[in-house]
């Protein structure tokens, strides 16, 4: 008694011999043009199919499987026979096997068998050929009608159709191997600076498809077809996405290939820059600590602290201000994106980062400006302090704190609008003393004290060594970016290096914490570390 597996095998062999043998012969006859070679090739295909079935293979679709084997065996036969494909100038080709006659029954059958492969390959040829193929083979339109609808000479349509058919046949005889991004889209984060009135670039990079197009085209000029195969997405959709990204100036077209018009740092690039900075951090931290410790009393004596801020909190601010000052004065620093946008209001720069974990403290910087007042804060990713400083303050808060610090303000004299402002600031950026005077709880820099602080730094014996070491790090970052980036992006090297050098803030802070020269506050939710108001 046969097992269920054996019964299935016998049924499939019977179905194959009953329904496919004759069709396979005609398939081979069309391919070889010789009755002798058609018989030989058909026998080879049949033996392969029956052998595979007897070995226990159970195809999901017998028809698709049979014709796949037939095509593969024909490809091997053609290769063995050294059948070559002539290189055709499709614009000037004249003698091509294209006509407007009806397909015979066998041709129609073969087309039906190949339709899934045809659809697959149509997804990987460009629009100028795809539209003609669809019109001719799928919609059964005449060549003259296709030419009329596309406003092209009939000869050009015929040559394009011949070229497209050639490419389709080649593709249908091969096994497509989609890239990793087709099943495992990667993530990328971005940073931007400058004016962005239209919502660009953020509004076009919120989805996985554009993100992975940009990742694939980063440092890797790619045709639309290559992007289509890598992402496993049909070309019509890739064409649309690439057009959006090109109009947003995030993709640049070079010939028939696309490359990102901004730098996306690979994991390797990020780690190279991290280690380039890390090897100098211990020396940098010593210089910073020496300068800050020796300058602390002079800076405190300028009266920049209006409350009872402790020495540790003030030292945090001086450390961050010193590092920022050194970085901002590096030779070659340029935080303005060099590529001009079509709209002069658009001045934004953009940088991408593949997902990577950098094991250090991160320091960001946010703030507001109004006339002669700046209020900003350093964001710190240590001690759960990153989001402890509210970012909802605005220019009205800065004006209020300036008036409290410079002119004096009492709760009893506040207007209704000022009372609303006070509710936002009370016990966060300021407090009221027993007499109702409003006292800022942040560093206040006024009366030319910012320049005085810089002069104190410059007078220190270690200041030049600190700045030259920062410059060395900056130059090494430029070298890494040059090595990692396509030459088309080399005009952006200083811009990108300028963004990355600010990472020194976090690395040096982390080292100073390790050295116990600064400490994380016991109540980070109450601290105003890194917040300052500047009045010019």
Position 329 in a domain? yes
Query: How much of the chain exceeds pLDDT 90, in percent?
Result: 45
pLDDT at 109: 42
d(CA 231, CA 279): 38
pLDDT in tens, 407-448: 899 999 999 999 999 998 998 889 999 999 999 999 999 999
The residue-averaged pLDDT of 244-248 equals 95
Confidence of residue 280 (pLDDT cuts 50, 70, 90): very high
Number of domains in the chain: 4
Q: Indicate if the pLDDT at residue 38 is higher than 90.
A: no
Question: How confident is the model at residue 119, as a pLDDT?
Answer: 63
The 10s digit of each residue's pLDDT in 474-487 is 999 999 999 999 89
Same domain, 130 and 217: no
Rounded CA separation 197/335 (Å): 19
Instruction: State residue 85's pLDDT score.
Output: 38
What is the mean pLDDT of the segment spanning 64-93?
65
Specify the pLDDT at position 249. Answer: 93
Torsion of CA 418, 420, 425, 426, to 10 degrees: 100
Instruction: Give the structural domain span for 184.
Output: 180-262
Q: Residue 199 has what pLDDT?
A: 92
Residue finishing a domain among 121, 150, 172: 172
The predicted structure's pLDDT at residue 88: 33
CA distance 355 to 270: 10
311 and 409 belong to one structural domain: yes
**What's the chain's Rg over C-alpha atoms?**
35
Indicate the residue among 224, 239, 262 that finishes a domain.
Answer: 262
Please indicate, yes or no, whether the overall pTM of this predicted structure exceeds 0.75.
Answer: no
Domain assignment present for residue 247? The answer is yes
- Please check the confidence at residue 516 and state whether its pLDDT lies above 80: yes
Residue 92: predicted pLDDT:
39
Residues 250 and 285 in one domain: no
Same domain, 217 and 329: no
Same domain assignment for residues 483 and 365: yes
pLDDT 10s digits, 369-422 = 888 999 988 887 776 676 666 566 888 999 999 999 998 999 999 999 999 999
Q: Mark whether 408 and 483 lie in a shared domain.
A: yes
Q: Do 27 and 159 share a domain, yes or no?
A: no
With respect to residue 353, please indicate whether it lies within any of the assigned structural domains: no
| Per-residue confidence (pLDDT) for residue 236, from 0 to 100 | 86
Residues 295, 415, single domain; the answer is yes
Q: What CATH number corresponds to the domain at position 161?
A: 1.10.10.10
Secondary element (H or E) of residue 408 = none
| Residue 401 domain flag | yes
Same domain, 280 and 417: yes
- Given a cut of 60, is residue 95 above it in pLDDT? no
Instruction: Tell me: do 115 and 252 sit in the same domain.
Output: no
Q: How far is CA 494 from CA 222, 251, 476, 498, in A?
A: 26, 20, 11, 6
438 and 369 housed in the same domain: yes
Q: Which CATH number does the domain housing residue 55 bear?
A: 1.10.1740
Q: Are residues 243 and 325 in the same domain?
A: no
Residue 289 falls inside a structural domain = yes
Q: Is residue 348 included in any domain, yes or no?
A: no
Is residue 121 situated within a structural domain? yes
Largest separation between any pair of C-alpha atoms in the chain: 111
Q: What is the pLDDT of residue 498?
A: 94
Mean pLDDT value across the chain: 85
* Residue predicted with more confidence, 119 or 63: 63
Given 238, 262, 286, which residue is the final one in a domain? 262
Residue 282 lies in a domain: yes
| Percent of the chain's residues with pLDDT above 70 | 86
């Amino acid at each position: 008694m046969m097992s269920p597996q054996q019964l299935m095998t016998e049924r499939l062999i019977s179905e194959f011999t009953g329904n496919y043998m004759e069709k396979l012969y005609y398939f081979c006859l069309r391919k070889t043009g010789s009755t002798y070679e058609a018989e030989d090739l058909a026998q080879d295909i049949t033996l392969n199919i029956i052998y595979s079935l007897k070995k226990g293979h159970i195809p999901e679709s017998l028809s698709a499987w049979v014709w796949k084997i037939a095509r593969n065996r024909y490809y091997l036969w053609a290769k063995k026979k050294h059948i070559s494909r002539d290189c055709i100038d499709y614009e000037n080709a004249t003698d091509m096997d294209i006509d407007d006659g009806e397909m015979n029954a066998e041709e129609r059958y073969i087309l039906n068998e190949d339709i899934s492969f045809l659809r697959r390959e149509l997804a990987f040829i460009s629009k100028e050929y795809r539209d003609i193929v669809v019109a001719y083979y799928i919609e059964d339109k005449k060549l003259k009608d296709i030419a009329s609808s596309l406003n092209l000479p009939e000869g050009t349509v015929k040559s394009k159709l011949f070229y497209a058919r050639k490419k389709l046949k080649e593709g249908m005889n091969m096994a497509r191997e989609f890239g990793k991004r087709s099943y495992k889209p990667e993530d990328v984060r971005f940073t931007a600076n400058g004016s962005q009135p239209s919502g660009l670039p953020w509004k076009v990079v919120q989805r996985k498809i554009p993100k992975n197009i940009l990742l694939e085209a980063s440092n890797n000029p790619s045709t639309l077809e290559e992007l289509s195969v890598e992402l496993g997405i049909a070309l019509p959709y890739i064409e649309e996405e690439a057009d959006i990204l090109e109009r947003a100036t995030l993709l640049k077209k070079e010939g028939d290939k696309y490359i990102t018009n901004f730098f996306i740092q690979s994991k390797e690039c990020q780690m190279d820059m991290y280690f380039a900075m890390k090897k100098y951090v211990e020396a940098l931290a010593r210089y910073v600590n020496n300068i800050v410790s020796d300058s602390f009393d002079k800076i405190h004596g300028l009266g920049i602290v209006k409350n009872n801020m402790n020495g540790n909190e003030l030292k945090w601010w001086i450390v961050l201000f010193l590092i920022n000052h050194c970085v901002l004065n590096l030779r070659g620093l340029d935080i303005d994106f060099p590529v001009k946008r079509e709209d002069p209001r658009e001045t934004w720069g953009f940088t991408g980062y593949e997902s990577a974990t950098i094991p250090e403290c991160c320091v960001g910087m946010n703030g507001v400006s109004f006339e002669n007042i700046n209020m900003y804060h350093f964001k710190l990713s240590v001690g759960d302090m990153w989001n402890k400083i509210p970012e909802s303050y605005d220019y009205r808060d800065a004006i209020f704190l300036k008036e409290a610090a410079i002119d004096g303000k009492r709760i009893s004299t506040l207007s209704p609008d000022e009372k609303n402002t006070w509710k936002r600031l009370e016990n966060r950026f300021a407090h009221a003393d027993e007499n109702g005077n409003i006292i800022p709880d942040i560093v206040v820099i006024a009366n030319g004290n910012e320049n005085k602080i810089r002069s104190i730094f410059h007078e220190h014996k270690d200041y030049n060594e600190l700045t030259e070491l920062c410059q060395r790090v900056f130059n090494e970052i430029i070298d890494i970016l040059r090595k990692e980036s396509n030459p088309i992006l080399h005009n952006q090297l200083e811009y990108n290096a300028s963004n990355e050098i600010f990472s020194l803030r976090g690395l040096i802070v982390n080292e100073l914490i390790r050295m116990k020269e600064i400490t994380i506050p016991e109540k980070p939710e109450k601290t105003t570390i890194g917040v300052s108001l500047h009045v010019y």
